[in-house]
């Protein structure tokens, strides 16, 4: 079992209250929640009729797509070393 401290953060995102629990620092958790709220707001401004569920799926898709692009860049950099 890990001895890492579990942090808890309660946030309101798009009018809904969520409690996030994890081993990240509170600073990281707050920054993540702020970025999530910002990107969710951008999606809803660009597509005002989008449902909460569809906006969430689009946000998750964008996040995973960006993660895969960054991983690919990192892999290419490591390969060139």
Q: What is the mean pLDDT of residues 57-80?
A: 96
Task: Give the pLDDT of residue 4.
Answer: 78
User: Does pLDDT of 3 surpass 70?
Assistant: no
Radius of gyration of the chain (CA): 16
Whole-prediction pTM value?
A: 0.81
Task: Give the pLDDT of residue 81.
Answer: 80
* Band (24; pLDDT cuts 50, 70, 90): very high
Query: What 3 state SS string does the chain have?
Result: CCCCCCEEEEEEECCEEEEEEECCCHHHHHHHHHHHHHHHHHHHHHCCCCCHHHHHHHHHHHHHHHHHHHHHHHHHHHHHC
| Residue among 46, 55, 47 at smallest CA distance from 15 | 55
Task: Give the pLDDT of residue 50.
Answer: 98
């Amino acid at each position: 079992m890990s001895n890492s401290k579990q942090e808890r953060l309660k946030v309101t995102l798009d009018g809904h209250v969520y409690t996030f629990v994890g081993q990240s620092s509170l600073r990281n958790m707050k920054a993540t929640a702020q970025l999530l709220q910002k990107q969710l707001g951008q999606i809803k401004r660009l597509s005002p009729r989008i449902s909460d569920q569809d906006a969430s799926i689009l946000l998750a898709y964008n996040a995973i797509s960006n993660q895969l692009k960054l991983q690919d860049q990192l892999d290419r950099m490591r390969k060139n070393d």
